[in-house]
Amino acid sequence: MKLIDLGYEEWQSAITQQTEKEKPYLFQTVQRAVPDMDGFIKFLASIELNLKEYFLPRPSIIIVEVEEEEISTSDPQIKIIQQSSFNPWGIEDNSIQSIIVSPPYWNLKKYEIPDVIIGGNLSCKHKFVKKGKYGSFCTSCNAWEGQYGWEPTPELYIDHTLLWCQDAWRSLKKDGIFFLNFGDSYLDKCQLLIPERIAIALQDDGWILRNRIVWLKGNATPHPVKDRFSNKSEIIFFFVKSQKYVFNLDSVREPHKTDCNNWNRNKLGKNPGDVWIFNTQRAKLGHCAMMPEKLVKQLILCSTRVGDTVLDPFCGSATTLMVANQLGRTAYGIDLGYEEVQEQRLSGVQRRIKC
């Protein structure tokens, strides 16, 4: 609907009902919703209301909105680096547009991958002594050897998470987005709030947290607990490095529930908000923690353009890489294991380079 179609009386009524203190907020709302501000100002002048003085400056955080392009018929590449994510990634600085990752959660599942050495002194000739159920510490430099996610304490797990996030910061473009998915854990019946602890630590490291998205699992498997409510959601943190970043909201808008001629509504649909409902995806190829393809698609569409590069530093069954390829993006992954699963899932895509 064109603004002029609203008519003199409707605008006159809406404006005159506002107090002088309320008018700036009315026009700030209009300013954000209306793409043709020059036309709107001319319309106000046509009804003898010179109200340009009421418009507030645009917010300091600038979101760069881009139209979704057609998927290219070129050959987007998939590159999987078979190594620990705690080793140097070998990825160029400021080269990744979007990082989408769901790392192992603390004390949840032992994966079929080798143990790794995390922290300590690289030049140390380690002498490891077993401590705890699944790990060992070096008696000289205190490096830890084990499987990430099976640290003896949640605090050590958080410290290890911050280590690989340093490489995420280095490799992400200045206008890129970092989506980090975590589930929480319990210790002695106490919920640990590990995702929130990590998010606060990352903010202290310079990351800007834009959203705390709740992923509600529509078909969540009931937990056999009787003294609390079962967990049916996980958290996806939406981080950026700077206040100006690529974000394509229009590509993930949802249809409006009702037909209405409200001029203030976006014709492409509504903002999906920060609570997303996606069913979990059944594991068929020997990896039990597969992220739903529809969820990954939404994350990729809103954070990248065709031809951009997406990275998953714990790529596991390669869901992120597969969906990125289907959407015409270049996809990089890092993982120590699941080569056979990756081969099967990526067998139908255009190109794969193994490193």
| DSSP track, 276-334 | EEE------SS-S-PPPHHHHHHHHHHH--TT-EEEETT-TT-HHHHHHHHTT-EEEEE
230 Cβ contact list (under 8 Å, min separation 6): 220, 222, 223
- What's the residue count for the chain? 355
How does DSSP classify residue 273?
T
70 has pLDDT over 70: no
> Which residue segments constitute the domains of the chain, with CATH numbers given?
3-58 (no CATH), 78-110+154-354 (3.40.50.150), 112-146 (no CATH)
Tens digits of per-residue pLDDT, 74-120? Answer: 556 899 999 999 999 999 999 999 999 999 999 988 888 889 999 99
Tens digits of per-residue pLDDT, 224-265? Answer: 899 999 999 999 999 999 999 999 999 999 998 877 666 678
Report which of residues 328 and 111 the model is more confident about: 328
59 has pLDDT over 70: no
Evaluate whether 171 touches 98 at the Cβ level (below 8 Å): no
| Phi, psi (degrees; rounded to nearest 5) at 302 | -80, -15
CA dist., res. 119 & res. 126, Å (int): 11
Q: What is the pLDDT of residue 139?
A: 95
Range name among 43-52, 99-108, 123-132, 198-207 with the lowest pLDDT average: 43-52
| pTM of the predicted model over 0.85 | no
Residue 7, phi-psi category: left (phi > 0), alpha (psi -120 to 50), beta (remainder): left
132 closest CA partner among 121, 146, 118, 116 = 146
Q: What is the pLDDT of residue 131?
A: 84
Q: What is the pLDDT of residue 260?
A: 64
Range name among 36-45, 78-87, 310-319 with the lowest pLDDT average: 36-45
Report which of residues 285 and 29 the model is more confident about: 285
Whole-angstrom CA distances from 70 to 236, 266, 337 are 27, 21, 34
CA dist., res. 67 & res. 70, Å (int): 10
CA dist., res. 277 & res. 234, Å (int): 11
Q: What is the pLDDT of residue 297?
A: 97
Evaluate whether 352 touches 99 at the Cβ level (below 8 Å): no
CA dist., res. 185 & res. 107, Å (int): 7
